[in-house]
């Protein structure tokens, strides 16, 4: 999913040879799960299911179970976030230079805003045939990595978790989106650093990820470039078709599920510096955000999970 993968296993009191077998098995499970997700959801691969479906739509096509689950999750995320999360942004991404392989386009004149999109569905099912079509090409990058982490955690739990409590603690990091189980030792939580979106070498904070928890960050640190004389980034506001999140450099959200943490990190980013605090607090999220002038802010739930904050924050 265009991200480096890192797996950390809490070895505990296991013998080295036993731990080695467990690590090799867990890594094989993790890689295989992400490869399935890549084949289903990537818009950067000629051979992915999503690319083929984007090109074929609006004609209906049969799809695999992983892609069906991903499309259903994206549809639900769009509804739950009130449209702030919307995968129908390929035209806007390509217009500002964030291109994958050609997906086909159903763009109308200009980028459709929320009023123009109206009630248009994200996907259409063809009766009970198992076939679906897409009224618009979709980009699942805003939820795909979180889904891959969700699926990987389920598979790893089946292999590493005992009947009553985790037998082996682990932490999976997919380019800053993280899911953890168990603990690194005893009852201690996993500690995760929130990187400085301005590119500094030191984190702005360290926060806890407890058993069964996830954390995701939406940031403009890496995917930011110059286009037509202005600085743009990949976090598109579907209401305007333009890069959103005025005044914000990054947003981090913690929760029980990596896909929803990823969705809400993006949805909250699009609230901008003026709107994020009220929305995040009203929803009860553990959330942290860094403004473009370098200030770290957080919700009360986020503060309760903060182990360390940089002095200047």
Percentage of the chain surpassing pLDDT 70?
Answer: 91
- pLDDT at 211 > cutoff 80: no
Domains of the chain plus CATH, in order, are: 49-133 (1.10.3980), 189-309 (3.10.520.10)
Which residues neighbour 37 within 8 Å (Cβ) at sequence distance 6 or greater? Answer: 1, 66, 70, 144, 145, 147, 148, 151
Q: Closest by alpha carbon to 145, among 247, 73, 54?
A: 73
Q: Which two three-digit tokens encode residue 312?
A: 């200047």
Q: Are 209 and 190 within 8 A, CB to CB?
A: yes
CA distance 236 to 220: 11
For residue 161, CA distances in Å to 61, 226, 227 come to 38, 47, 48
Q: Is 228 exposed, middle or buried (0-12, 13-18, 19+ CB in 10 A)?
A: exposed
Q: What is the pLDDT of residue 244?
A: 97
pLDDT, tens digit (0-9, with 9 covering 90-100), for 131-155 = 899 999 999 998 999 999 999 999 9
180 Cβ contact partners less than 8 Å away, ≥ 6 residues apart: 169, 170, 171, 172, 190, 209, 210, 211, 212, 213, 214
Burial of residue 155, with CB atoms counted within 10 A of its CB: 0-12 exposed, 13-18 middle, 19 or more buried? middle
The structure's pTM equals 0.90
> What pLDDT digit, counting tens, does each position of 252-290 carry?
999 999 999 999 999 999 999 999 999 999 999 999 999
* The predicted structure's pLDDT at residue 188: 85
Distance of CA 188 to the CA centre of its chain: 26
């Amino acid at each position: 999913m265009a991200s480096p993968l890192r797996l950390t296993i809490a070895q505990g009191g296991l013998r080295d040879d036993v731990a080695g077998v467990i690590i090799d098995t867990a890594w094989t499970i993790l890689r295989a799960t992400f490869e399935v997700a890549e084949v289903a959801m990537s818009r950067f691969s000629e051979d992915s299911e999503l690319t083929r479906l984007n090109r074929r739509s609006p004609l209906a096509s049969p799809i695999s179970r992983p892609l069906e689950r991903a499309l259903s999750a994206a549809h639900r995320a769009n509804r739950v976030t009130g449209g702030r999360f919307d995968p129908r942004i390929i035209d806007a991404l390509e217009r500002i230079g964030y291109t994958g392989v050609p997906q086909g386009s159903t763009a109308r004149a200009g980028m459709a805003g929320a009023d123009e999109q109206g009630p248009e569905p994200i996907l259409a099912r063809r009766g009970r045939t198992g076939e679906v079509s897409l009224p618009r090409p979709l980009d699942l990058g805003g939820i795909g990595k979180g889904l891959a982490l969700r699926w990987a955690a389920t598979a790893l739990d089946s292999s590493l978790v005992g009947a009553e409590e985790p037998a082996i603690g682990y932490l999976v990091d997919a380019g800053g989106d993280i899911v953890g189980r168990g603990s690194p030792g005893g009852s201690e939580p996993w500690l995760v650093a929130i990187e400085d979106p301005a590119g500094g070498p030191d984190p702005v904070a360290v926060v806890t990820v407890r058993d069964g928890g996830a954390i995701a960050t939406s940031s403009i640190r890496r995917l930011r470039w110059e286009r037509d004389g202005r600085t743009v980034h990949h976090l598109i506001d579907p209401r305007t078709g333009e890069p959103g999140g005025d005044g914000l450099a990054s947003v981090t959200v913690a929760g029980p599920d990596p896909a929803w943490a990823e969705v809400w990190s993006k949805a909250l980013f699009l609230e901008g510096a003026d709107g994020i605090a009220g929305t995040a607090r009203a929803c009860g999220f553990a959330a942290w955000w860094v403004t473009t002038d370098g200030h770290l802010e957080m919700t009360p739930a986020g503060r309760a999970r903060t182990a360390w904050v940089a002095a200047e924050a």
